[in-house]
Each structure stands twice: as C-alpha cells, then as structure tokens.
Amino acid sequence: MIRSRCKDTFRSNYKSKRQECMKLLLASTQSTTKTGRGRTTTVKIDRLNFAPRRTPKDTIVPPEIIASLTATPVVCLLVFMLWFVIWAPLIALLEYGTHRWIMHVANRLLDPQLLQLKSHVAHHKGANAPEFVDVPLKNCLLLTSPAILMLALWGFAIGPWSAVGIPAAALLAWSLFYKYLWARMHRAIHGIESNWFQRCGPVFRFFRNHHLKHHANGRVNYGTVFPWTDYLFCTWRDRRAARASGAKTGLVRIPTNSVEADSE
C-alpha cells in the first residue's frame, strides 16, 4: 500500500514538473515587437538566459553606423593614401605625354601658341632660368582637370560627394607634389641649386645620367620624375645608343605659321 502511494505521488509530481518545464520553454521563445526610428524590430526574449535573442535580420549593421565609421579621420586618411598611390601611374603617363608630344612637337591642338615648345627649345639650348626649368602650376592643374571633371560628374550622378571628394583631393595633391618634385629634381640635375636631391647619392646619379642622355638626344629618355615610362614606350636609351641615334638635340623646328604647323 505504501509503495503504491509513493509511485502515484512520484508520477503526479513528474507530470506537474514536466508541464511546468514545457510552459517555461514556450515562454522563453516568446516574440515581442518593438517599434522605433521608423522601423519594426522583432526580438525573441530568452527568459532562461535573461538576454534578448536577435534574429539574423537584426544583426545587419545599420547604414548610419557605417556612414559614421567611414567618416572618421583615420579612415579618410587611409582612403586618401590609397587614391594617392592609384593616381601615380596617371601622373607618370601625363608627364611622359606632355614632355614628348607637347614640349618636343608642334602641337597646336593642346598648345596653340607653342609656348611650351619654345620654352623647352630654349632650355635645351642652355637656358636654365626658372621659367625654362620649372613646370608652371597651371599646367599641372590643366593636365589633371579632365580627371577632376570626370570625378565631379560621377559624384553628381551617384549622389554622395564624399565618394569622389577624397579621390579628387588626392589628384590635386599629386599636382602640387609633382610640381615640387620636378622643380627640385630638375634644378639639382642641372646644378642650378643644391638641395636634398643632390645628396641622394646613387639615386641622384641615376636620374641625372638618365636626363642628361635626353639632352644629348631629344628623341629618347622623356621620363624625368618617372623614368620607367621610357621602358613602357620603348624610348629608354643608354649613353652610347643616345649618341649613335639621330640628331644631337632631337628638337623639332618651331613652325613660323599655321601652314607649317599643319604640314608637320
């Protein structure tokens, strides 16, 4: 009798405990709806762990947080440095194209008055005044202005100006930096001033020899700040090859009128 009563009591207690556990488990996954900032979020409350359990949809980082992270000064600086590296090949190609097809060719399309050609001819004849040696800042800005204009149009089309502001700033910084590099390197090579570039040892001697070969033969070695462009366009020559090929200066004759320019 006592044994049967104990079994009945155990069974009843087991059933009641089991029902309580099931109710608690169902209550632990109860969903509640919260509304805030114009959106509805469903959060599952885990009452056993006393912590909200979010759905995969709620784990996505809101756009405003991403925008705040991308606007930090450190991120902007890193993006600026990345674009500064990206623009370097473009600046190198602009230097080569300007030196070869504007300073050494009567190009009335890009230089209607042939001012760059006349100035460079005077420099090859020995004129080392600043107006013949340095690159005007306006020329650097004019050469990079098409790319800056394209960036502006792109920013106007896609909406956020922040997406193009940093690339444009990096390109503008390259224009200023290139003018500085050209002036210091070109003046040091021709002995006009003694600066930090003359103290670079083998690096200075390499750039000086490369540029002086261009003065020996104006049809080779157009790259001054970026000599690797001569390898790209097959105009790299050593001293012996430069002396053996073509004229001494390699400069074209300046046309006196538009008819001569068109014939050239």
* H helix runs in the chain, sequence order: 2-28, 63-70, 73-101, 115-124, 130-133, 137-158, 162-189, 202-216, 228-232, 239-244, 258-263
Question: What pLDDT does residue 10 have?
Answer: 54
Give which of 81, 85, 123, 82 is closest to 224, Cα–Cα: 123
Query: In 10 A of CB 256, how many CB atoms?
Result: 8
Question: What pLDDT does residue 178 have?
Answer: 95
Six token digits for residue 24:
């608690």
Six token digits for residue 184:
């210091």
In terms of Cβ atoms closer than 10 Å to its own Cβ (0-12, 13-18, 19+), residue 216 is middle
Question: What pLDDT does residue 46 have?
Answer: 47
Question: What pLDDT does residue 75 have?
Answer: 84
3-state SS assignment for residue 130 = helix
Q: Could you tell me the pTM of the whole model? A: 0.65
Give which of 178, 150, 177 is closest to 164, Cα–Cα: 150
Euclidean distance between CA atoms 111 and 101, whole angstroms: 10
Euclidean distance between CA atoms 113 and 119, whole angstroms: 11
Residues β-bridged to residue 33: 42
Question: What pLDDT does residue 165 have?
Answer: 84
Q: How far is CA 127 from the centre of its chain?
A: 36
**Sheet order of strands, 39-46 included:** 31-36, 39-46, 51-54
Sorted by where each begins, the domain ranges of the chain are 76-263
Q: Which residue in the block uniquely carries the two structure tokens 């004849």?
A: 125
Euclidean distance between CA atoms 259 and 245, whole angstroms: 29
Six token digits for residue 62:
């809101």
- Which amino acid belongs to residue 116? Q
Question: What pLDDT does residue 161 have?
Answer: 65
Six token digits for residue 210:
């490369």
pLDDT mean by block of 10 residues, the chain; 264 residues: 54 65 60 52 48 53 57 83 94 95 92 92 91 88 83 70 81 94 95 93 95 93 96 84 45 45 40
Query: In 10 A of CB 225, how many CB atoms?
Result: 19
Question: What pLDDT does residue 261 have?
Answer: 40
CB within 8 A of 223, min separation 6: which ones?
92, 95, 96, 99, 210, 229, 230
Question: What pLDDT does residue 102 have?
Answer: 93
